[in-house]
Amino acid sequence: MKCRRCRQPAVIDLRRHNAAFCSDCFLHHCREQVRRAISEFSMFGPEDRILVAVSGGKDSLALWHLLRELGYSADGLYIGLGIGGYSEESEIRTRAFADDHGLTLRVISLPEDHGYDVETAAQRTRRAPCGACGLSKRHLFNRAALDGGYDVVATGHNLDDEAAVLLGNVLHWEPGYLGRQYPVLPATEGFARKVKPLVRLGEREMAAYCVLLGIEYQVEECPMAEGNRHLGYKEVLNDLEARSPGSKAAFLASFFSRGHEFFRDAAGGEQEALHGCVECGSPTTGEVCAFCALRARVVGDTPVTIGRKD
Ligand code: Q46
Ligand code: ZN
């Protein structure tokens, strides 16, 4: 097996691209895919300040590394979720990566800074852990970006993640979710721009990127992820991909180029009704935003009416 670019012995084959690469050319391929995603979706420019949402896993650490390799100014934000040994290990990996590469890392701890952890939030609000966790992370990343003067929040969602979410949204025909599923969501009043520069790269590519560069990442899956329906969708898509290489990427890319426009109008219907949360100032349709309402219920304050958007 020879590298498609330089004909040296290859270390990885990518059936979807009908290609194999040596180490250097594979790293070049990853940079190229991110560069193309940034340009294709006009995610940001060289002058923009980027806040990378880092979890200590392969995707977010690789994303941070790739953005710096491409010359962007990117700081990291890690949110400690209080999920026992999993969170401890994730924070160690994230801090070590930032130290090794001389990068600026901001850290927020849900237990220390906000008085709760994901499991307690899930139990007290009778939500699925990922629901409480996702709501908290979205709010805190957005807040940190606005307060820190960043132009954009970048997350490590990769091709496999996005294809699985798309399959779920299509299976349930969720027009609002389909309208919001796009690699770039523009900034609106009170919300920073959000981008997903890894949409052209799969999970296996991100793991290989880290291994080849000696980036030590958290290899354990979050223990709360069990039962998450997206894991099932990933398995289904992987079966399809094994039968027909390239079908997963085509499913996602065709949605972005040909399907998304039909749902765009369904994405932003609540904008006019938003005003500032009385607790934190974030846009919401209620008196307090969903994050402040969740926090109040979990730590024992009395919630006011619950906002729908956060
Ligand atoms: S960290 Fe949080 Fe994920 Fe764990 S609780 Fe679910 S959402 S699975 S990205
Ligand atoms: Zn609030």
Tens of pLDDT, residues 263-294: 999 886 555 678 899 999 999 989 999 999 99
Q: How far does the centroid of ligand 1 lie from the alpha carbon of residue 9, in Å?
A: 38
Closest by CA to 192, choosing from 141, 244, 234, 226, is: 141
In DSSP terms, 201 is beta-bridged to none
- Please report whether residue 31 resides in a domain: no
- Please report whether residue 281 resides in a domain: yes
**Ligand 1, CB within 6 Å, residue ranges:** 81, 118, 129-130, 133-134, 222, 224-225
Mean pLDDT value of segment 46-63: 98
Whichever domain contains 284, its CATH number is 3.40.50.620
Give the number of the atom of ligand 1 that is nearest the alpha carbon of residue 133: 2
- Per the CB < 8 A criterion, the answer to whether 248 and 166 are in contact is no
Q: Which domain holds residue 246?
A: 40-218+228-299
Which single residue is written with the structure tokens 């699985």?
164
- Per the CB < 8 A criterion, the answer to whether 172 and 220 are in contact is no
- Please report whether residue 194 resides in a domain: yes
Top-confidence residue, 305 or 283: 283
The distance of Cα 183 from the centroid of its chain, to the nearest Å, equals 10
Closest by CA to 303, choosing from 273, 277, 274, 271, is: 277
Instruction: Please state the length of the chain.
Output: 310
The distance of Cα 178 from the centroid of its chain, to the nearest Å, equals 16
- Please report whether residue 3 resides in a domain: no
Q: How far does the centroid of ligand 2 lie from the alpha carbon of residue 292, in Å?
A: 4
* Domains held by the chain: number: 1
Q: Which band of pLDDT confidence, cut at 50, 70 and 90, is reported for residue 302?
A: low
- Please report whether residue 99 resides in a domain: yes
Q: What is the pLDDT of residues 4-33, one digit of tens each?
A: 999 999 999 999 999 999 999 999 999 999
Give the ligand whose atoms come closest to the C-alpha of residue 122: 1
Q: How far does the centroid of ligand 1 lie from the alpha carbon of residue 121, in Å?
A: 13
Mutate to test the pocket of ligand 1, among 130, 162, 221 (most ligand atoms within 8 A of CB): 130
